[in-house]
Structure 1
């Protein structure tokens, strides 16, 4: 961030930068704690495994005084090595990061689980080793690839970078080694310190047009990494999109990772206790499923692994649990339209995530679009979702809960009827949206708004400026 201003109407006053050292802020006690508390500065969905790690094997020849600042795990199952400098980075900082990446590339799941437990214990949180192991597995949705562990991503955070560092990092990236450079800035605004983190390399354009083609031609492990990086964890996608309301019922349908014979055994096992075959969704990226059989929260893959082991007595290997859970469309949440909900029949969590990739919960465009819908016209949840890049179900859920959506009564289901999930923001209102629409000039036939008054997709796009 090159320039920061305080703004008061048409007047913008520049804010002079300061530095961590000038403000008495330290690398370990302050900068490191900021990153641990807000790992999103390291990239999408990063879990901090440990910090200040120095338990290197003697055979590696690394003195114990050499400490890895932060070690994380992203949702693709790839380690993230973080090197921190509160001032300008040393000219050889990238060599430090590469050394640590080489060392952690030999770690296995048990080593990482032990490091995570020790890290949590040092911060006053007691967690069993098995629970730490499962937390790491759940973060990658159960996918655990030794090939990916051997290719850590490196992140260097500093106040500035010498040209020697940036030039070397660019070359290393072209050689298929992933190193991110993030600049930390500090300003004092009205007596309050403000910190900013800016990714200075690689920029999105560099990643897309320069680095990606080189990695596509790299060895199989790099290809696998690119595919999994593009395909974000299904649970994170669903939570970000807000498609499934809390309380959504799910049905167990074992698929990925098990042959037909074991599937049949699982169905027999579920038949002995039908609660084993259902779960309830909550919008929690860590453990979104509450299993009806034990009332405990699980990740989709963690629960699938547990079920597999309960039935077979063997350890599961490579199950993609998000394919095991289908939407139970027989149970309709109060906030959704039944017709739109029925369209999800037979769809599993992984399939939904593929449909929703790139969808988020920023409803600014929805509010803008609804404000432009004129009296005497109506639209549908599905058409609105298409125009704003969402899905009919989260659109309906948002309209039912939002107190700021304009003209919400002008959104009907595909049949032109008021959704059963519609709610007035004013709970004292007793009139029907159909009555309001009729008063605005929308014709109705047998209780349904006529298609002649329905806005086309083209009209909706023009209203949004598209």
Structure 2
């Protein structure tokens, strides 16, 4: 930012630039804290993992003295190495950034979780190691990729950059090394200081026209990442929306990323041991599948890759594992009504997430609606789900496990029957929802509530205020 003005109508008054050193502002106590407090200056969706990190060792096991200013993690799963200079950057500042990038490229999830826990503890926040690990996993939109960790992005922030640095960074970028140069400026406006962060390299135009030809090879890797991201996004949609209950059984059907010949070989291999064909679902965004063949947890793509390698002896390449796992209609979870479960027949995880993307898991609307259902009337899982913007299966799962839903006995399946998964919050109760509904004046014919007492969709919407 070359010029800054204060404006009063048609009058513009130049604002004098100053410098951090001139104002007594320090690199660690001030500039570094600004970045930690506002990581958006490093790019979109960056989580700060640690700062002032120095817990590495050389080949002799002696701790190194160098301190990494800031280490972040972006939402794609790449590490972000940040080097800070309050004045003009040193002529070899890019070498420091590259050195730190090389060191952190060997980090794994556990190392990063330990570093994050220590960082938070130093700031007065006590968080368990498992919680730190889960925070890192949840921050990544796609599947956690050790390969991506080996390619950190570097950000150098300084008041100015000598030409030696800018020329070298341009060349390194053309060689497919990701380095951003961000200029921090300081101005004095009356009694206040104003700081600004401006990316000076690469600009959007440089990224598009100069660097793109040199990064054709990286495009294939990005496409693979996109496939992994789609798979992991499907898991987040399903878990976030409560679309599948725990212990739902999934059946293996190889699809994306394999030829017909390999598909037949996998099915033949599965035929040798039926446990290879099944996995159970658990609402865990990290590894939601438990394979019945070995009892170990996997991601959908991780398990598909494992099966592919077991059959072919080759490393899998570009499989979207969420297309491989179908909902097994023969195994209806206790918490789900069979009629509603049947609506998901033949659905794989990818299709389920696409079909039900946006389904709500905020049950405030559900509780409000159920509270308004009067005695002597009943409704269905499907109608309730339609009104609150959800789906019958997660609604049924929630009602079966909530324990605090008002008037839950007034929700029946589409045929007017009590769901087999219904449970009273008071385990000592021996009466059935049909007994209570009958006492409220609802007639039953052959075990099904009469339709005359069923609430119409319009009535339900009015009860919810719409």
- Partner Cα separation in structure 1 for residue 229 and residue 268 of structure 2: 37
Partner of 2:6: none
Partner of 1:140: 142
- Structure 1 position 290 matched with structure 2 position 290: yes
Alignment CA distance shift 1:251-1:142 (3 Å): farther
Alignment CA distance shift 1:306-1:226 (3 Å): closer
Partner of 1:235: 235
Alignment of 1:169-180 (within 5 A): 175=204
Partner of 1:388: 388
SS of residue matched to 1:233: helix
CA drift at 1:177: 11
CA drift at 1:384: 1.0
What do the CA deviations read for 1:70-112 (whole angstroms, capped 9, x no partner)? 23142xx353638699xxxx9889xxxx989x969998xx974
What do the CA deviations read for 1:266-299 (whole angstroms, capped 9, x no partner)? 0011111111111111111111111111111111
The alignment yields a C-alpha RMSD, in angstroms, of 5.1
- Partner Cα separation in structure 2 for residue 162 and residue 154 of structure 1: 22
Contact 1:326–1:347 (CA<8 Å) still a contact in 2?
yes
SS of residue matched to 1:71: strand
- Partner Cα separation in structure 2 for residue 342 and residue 45 of structure 1: 41
- Partner Cα separation in structure 2 for residue 104 and residue 464 of structure 1: 59
- Structure 1 position 165 matched with structure 2 position 196: yes
SS of residue matched to 1:165: strand
Contact 1:336–1:420 (CA<8 Å) still a contact in 2?
yes
CA drift at 1:451: 2.3
Alignment CA distance shift 1:312-1:139 (3 Å): farther
Contact 2:410–2:437 (CA<8 Å) still a contact in 1?
yes
Partner of 1:187: none
Alignment CA distance shift 1:355-1:454 (3 Å): same
Partner of 2:80: 81
- Partner Cα separation in structure 1 for residue 412 and residue 228 of structure 2: 38
Moved more, 456-465 or 227-236: 227-236
Alignment of 1:61-210 (within 5 A): 65=66, 67-74=68-75, 77-79=76-78, 81=80, 112-114=105-107, 116=109, 118-119=111-112, 140-141=142-143, 163-165=194-196, 168=198, 175=204
Contact 1:249–1:279 (CA<8 Å) still a contact in 2?
yes
- Structure 1 position 403 matched with structure 2 position 406: no
- Partner Cα separation in structure 2 for residue 303 and residue 49 of structure 1: 32
Alignment CA distance shift 1:414-1:295 (3 Å): same
- Partner Cα separation in structure 2 for residue 80 and residue 460 of structure 1: 49
- Partner Cα separation in structure 2 for residue 372 and residue 418 of structure 1: 20
Larger radius of gyration: 2
CA drift at 1:435: 2.3
CA drift at 1:357: 2.0
- Partner Cα separation in structure 1 for residue 290 and residue 421 of structure 2: 24
What do the CA deviations read for 1:116-170 (whole angstroms, capped 9, x no partner)? 565467779xxxxxxxxxx89x973378998xx79899999xxx9975526x47x
Partner of 1:365: 365
SS of residue matched to 1:72: strand
- Partner Cα separation in structure 1 for residue 315 and residue 348 of structure 2: 23
TM-score (norm 2): 0.63
TM-score (norm 1): 0.63
CA drift at 1:405: 0.7
Alignment CA distance shift 1:91-1:354 (3 Å): farther
- Partner Cα separation in structure 1 for residue 464 and residue 285 of structure 2: 31
What do the CA deviations read for 1:306-333 (whole angstroms, capped 9, x no partner)? 1111111111111111111111121111
Unaligned 5+ segments in structure 1 are 1-25, 36-41, 56-63, 125-134, 179-218
